[in-house]
């Protein structure tokens, strides 16, 4: 009931606000939705987002920003692949599941359980045709087509055989059509719908996804049923393997990563052109973003020597609790509903896309979904976001928690919580946590943890409540899939290591090691 009231309130707030919004007399619309998610693209990799420190040309993404709205304080649900993708599809933080750190590797049951609504299943139930072209990275199984038995991975470079059947992939989680791959390690295994259809070189994947995305838009525009469509394009670039096509090699003059970013930008351009060529621009909502910050595989120091800062001046990169790990490009274009060249400073998370889409079409999210999703539709009219959520939760690759409310950011880690130095193993006698004023210190250089105990106490109380409640928004009671989520990861690991060291001494100096998840 609260969800329905909240949706109605959003509609009253938004419809009718400026010439760029829907008038009060018009019913909520069902626009086509195209969601492009890059893989490991840093905030500073987009030239228009960081013009002073971005040296890679991204003309098509820049054009998208000029024609739509740029959110300058948008965040991924985590600073690494799988958790972010889970949050985007479900509107729920991934750490509420069994995945407490790291990413999944495939050859296992889907992380999204069968009865949990996804953004795709929701839109499908509302009359949308739903397609995904790209990277899933949420696990699924491979079955032998003859025996129907699950196949286990036989070696690091082994691929599922052509003809292998997938019983719990995207087409079993709300999508009508799927073409792509599971994750970077299995990129050579090309999948269509629920089968592995061929093995192909990784260098061909980005061109393949570009071609398939354009074809999908062309086909949907010609369908006689005139269904609206939802196209999710989770690209595998510029993530490793960093393999720009021959025509793009050397184009940037800055190395393979910069070449690959430029090729990724061209893919965005091809998708936007297909939308325009088919006369769909007016009623198509386009969202462009990334799943986390830039990876160290991009050779960040070499790029920095050329004047390019992958995180645009924010501290850290992929995997970290610092903003370079999870502050992401986020650009939205929607015909004349959004003022061209506009900017929003509202704090949002990729988990919020689900609630926003639901509000746009005038529906409540299904029961049992969207526990951490808040509609940012008012922001498209320059209005503040109305939310029952106190703040946004951050999560690093090693499972370290952070909490952002307004200008304050609390990190329950001594260091990066990820791969950047100092990480937790290098943090020595640093304070057990970090607190930053993101208005005065967006680069997170001055730790105020010991100087602002009242702020720490308040943020920590919100975080503890949000974890315990199973949701960060008001709504139907929910619970986490696992009990005993560890809040202070570094403290637990330190305690465990001390205990194991004592145990080791009692057994002739043989200590037991515990994987810290980092």
Domain assignment present for residue 233? The answer is: no
3 state SS of 13: helix
The pLDDT, as a whole number, for residue 490 is: 86
Domain assignment present for residue 432? The answer is: yes
The pLDDT, as a whole number, for residue 507 is: 36
Domain assignment present for residue 280? The answer is: no
Give every residue of the chain whose pLDDT is below 70, as ranges.
1-27, 493-518
Domain assignment present for residue 494? The answer is: yes
| Spatial CB neighbours of 265, under 8 Å, sequence gap ≥ 6 | 57, 58, 59, 60, 61
Distance CA 286, CA 40 (A): 19
The pLDDT, as a whole number, for residue 249 is: 98
DSSP 419-450: SSSS-GGG-TTS-SSEEEETTT-TT--S--TT
Output DSSP code: residue 181.
Answer: E
3 state SS of 327: strand
Domain assignment present for residue 264? The answer is: no
The pLDDT, as a whole number, for residue 5 is: 43
Helix ranges, 130-255 (H): 205-222
The pLDDT, as a whole number, for residue 427 is: 85
3 state SS of 292: coil
The pLDDT, as a whole number, for residue 369 is: 96
Distance CA 70, CA 413 (A): 30
Orientation angle between helical segments 352-360 and 81-90, nearest 10 degrees: 20
Domain assignment present for residue 476? The answer is: yes
Is residue 325 within 8 A of residue 292, CB to CB? The reply is: yes
| CATH number of the domain where residue 482 is located | 3.30.1120.10
The pLDDT, as a whole number, for residue 494 is: 64
The pLDDT, as a whole number, for residue 364 is: 95
Enumerate the β-bridge partners of residue 367: none
Report CA dihedral (304, 308, 314, 320) to the nearest 10 degrees. -60
**Enclosing domain of residue 446:** 392-501
Is residue 22 within 8 A of residue 13, CB to CB? The reply is: no
The pLDDT, as a whole number, for residue 506 is: 36
Domain assignment present for residue 422? The answer is: yes
* Tens digit of each residue's pLDDT (9 = 90 or more) over 308-361: 999 999 999 999 999 999 999 999 999 999 999 999 999 999 999 999 999 999
Enumerate the β-bridge partners of residue 36: 233, 288
Q: Total domain count for the chain? A: 1
The pLDDT, as a whole number, for residue 27 is: 53
Domain assignment present for residue 110? The answer is: no
Distance CA 88, CA 385 (A): 19
């Amino acid at each position: 009931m609260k969800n329905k009231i909240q949706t109605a309130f959003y509609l009253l707030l938004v419809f009718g606000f400026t010439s760029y919004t829907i008038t009060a007399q018009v019913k909520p619309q069902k626009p086509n939705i195209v969601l492009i998610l890059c893989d490991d693209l840093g905030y500073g990799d987009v030239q228009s987002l960081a013009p002073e420190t971005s040296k890679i040309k991204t003309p098509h993404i820049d054009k998208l920003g000029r024609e739509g709205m740029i959110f300058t304080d948008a965040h991924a649900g985590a600073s690494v692949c799988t958790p972010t993708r889970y949050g985007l599809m479900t509107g729920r933080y991934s750490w509420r599941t069994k995945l407490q750190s790291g990413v999944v590797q495939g050859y296992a049951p889907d992380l999204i359980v069968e009865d949990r609504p996804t953004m795709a299943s929701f839109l499908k139930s509302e009359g949308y045709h739903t397609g995904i072209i790209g990277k899933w990275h949420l696990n699924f199984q491979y079955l032998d087509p003859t025996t129907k038995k699950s196949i286990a991975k036989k070696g690091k470079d082994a691929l599922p055989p052509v003809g292998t059947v997938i019983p719990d992939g995207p087409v079993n989680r709300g999508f009508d059509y799927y073409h792509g791959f599971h994750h970077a390690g299995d990129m050579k295994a090309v999948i269509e719908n629920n089968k592995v259809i061929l093995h192909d070189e990784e260098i061909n994947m980005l061109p393949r996804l570009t071609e398939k995305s354009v074809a999908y838009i062309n086909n949907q525009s010609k369908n006689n049923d005139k269904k609206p469509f939802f196209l999710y394009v989770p690209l595998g670039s510029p993530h490793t393997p960093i393999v720009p096509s021959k025509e793009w090699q050397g184009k940037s003059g800055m190395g393979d990563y910069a070449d690959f970013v430029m090729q990724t930008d061209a893919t965005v351009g091809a998708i936007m052109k297909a939308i325009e060529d088919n006369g769909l621009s007016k009623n198509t909502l386009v969202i462009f973003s990334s799943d986390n910050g830039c990876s160290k595989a991009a050779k960040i120091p070499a790029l920095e020597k050329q004047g390019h800062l992958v995180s645009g001046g924010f501290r850290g990169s992929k995997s970290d609790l610092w903003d370079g790990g999870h502050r992401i490009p986020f650009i939205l274009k929607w015909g004349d509903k959004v003022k061209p060249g506009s900017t929003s400073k509202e704090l949002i998370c990729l988990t919020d896309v689900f609630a926003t889409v639901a509000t746009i079409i005038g529906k409540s999210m299904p029961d049992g979904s969207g526990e951490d999703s808040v509609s940012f539709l008012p922001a498209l009219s320059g209005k503040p976001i109305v939310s029952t959520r106190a703040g946004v939760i951050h999560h690093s690759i090693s499972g370290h928690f952070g909490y952002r409310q307004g200008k304050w950011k609390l990190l329950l880690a001594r260091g990066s919580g990820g791969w950047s130095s100092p990480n937790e193993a290098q943090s020595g006698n640093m304070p057990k946590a970090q607190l930053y004023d993101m208005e005065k210190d967006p680069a997170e250089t001055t730790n105020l943890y010991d100087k602002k105990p009242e702020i720490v106490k308040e943020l920590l109380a919100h975080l503890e409540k949000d974890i315990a409640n199973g949701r960060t928004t008001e709504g139907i009671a929910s619970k986490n899939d696992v009990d005993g989520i560890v809040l202070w990861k570094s403290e637990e690991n330190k305690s465990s290591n001390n205990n194991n060291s004592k145990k080791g001494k009692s057994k002739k100096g043989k200590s037991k090691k515990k994987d810290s998840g980092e």
